[in-house]
Chain A
Amino acid sequence: MRNPGGYAVWTDPDVARDKERDTYTCKHHNGVIIVEPGDQSWAYCNGCDGKICPACYAEMARIGKCVSFERKIEESERKDRLRRQLLGDYT
């Protein structure tokens, strides 16, 4: 894989060599995807400028826009800050 985002290694005493695979992290659901050799199933999102998994690509095609994980957690954090401000335990 060109420009992998990560690297996974399996060490098994029954196997002569370690198994090694590239990984990428989907920019839409922040899940780590382990890429088998020859697998080209990932997609690229121009909205968040990163690789996304086939399931998130299908969802993006369905709703017609990029919803990045960064945007999702910013929303979650904004709601949490507001909730804690209202409850008086904002830190």
Chain B
Amino acid sequence: MAIYTATGQRTASASAAVAALENPASGPVRGFIYRLTFGSEATPADNPYLWQIQRSTTLSTGGATTPGPIALDGADAAATLTFRNGALTDGSVTANAMALSVPLNQRATFQIFLGPGEEIVIPATANNGAHIRTPTATALAVTTTCFFRQ
């Protein structure tokens, strides 16, 4: 299995995801998210908001897919899973299918490390994925870094 990292940035939106890690329409593979970082690079202020990882069944659109996930071992092939970030429009997210939900103050940074067998799994199903969302955020600059293997 190869491991990859990808970073998503945008001005947070309550209605659109910060980033989405998704399977393509053909040749899907299982993805395993094992490490995540959430935070804001805006001027420090007290703004509580929520980060969520929500499962999705159709592809997001817009935003940017470059530079794409970076293989931590340079000898590995490019990732099959695509990582879209920026001004994207959400795909169909599954109601109540939250893999992670973390309330956070804008001043704080959150990191989570998931051991083997404990990862957030993206099924090898066409167009399925996970959206990294901030459903209650005001318009502040946010960043997430996602480490995954496939």
Chain A positions near chain B (C-beta within 8 angstroms): 4-14, 23-25, 29-32, 34, 50, 69, 73, 76-77, 79-80, 83-84, 89-91
Q: Dominant SS at the A interface?
A: mixed
- B123 near A91 with CB under 8 A, answer no
Q: Which residues does chain A contribute within 8 Å of B124, judged by CB atoms? A: 73, 77, 80
Q: Which of B104, B107, B112 has the most CB of A within 10 A?
A: B112
- B111 near A8 with CB under 8 A, answer yes
Q: How many A-B residue pairs have C-beta atoms within 8 angstroms? Tell me.
A: 87
Chain B positions near chain A (C-beta within 8 angstroms): 25-28, 30, 44, 53, 97-100, 102, 104-105, 107-115, 117-121, 123-126, 128
A61 to B26, CA, bound (A): 38
- A84 near B126 with CB under 8 A, answer yes
- In the complex, what residue of chain A is closest to B23 when comparing beta carbons? A80
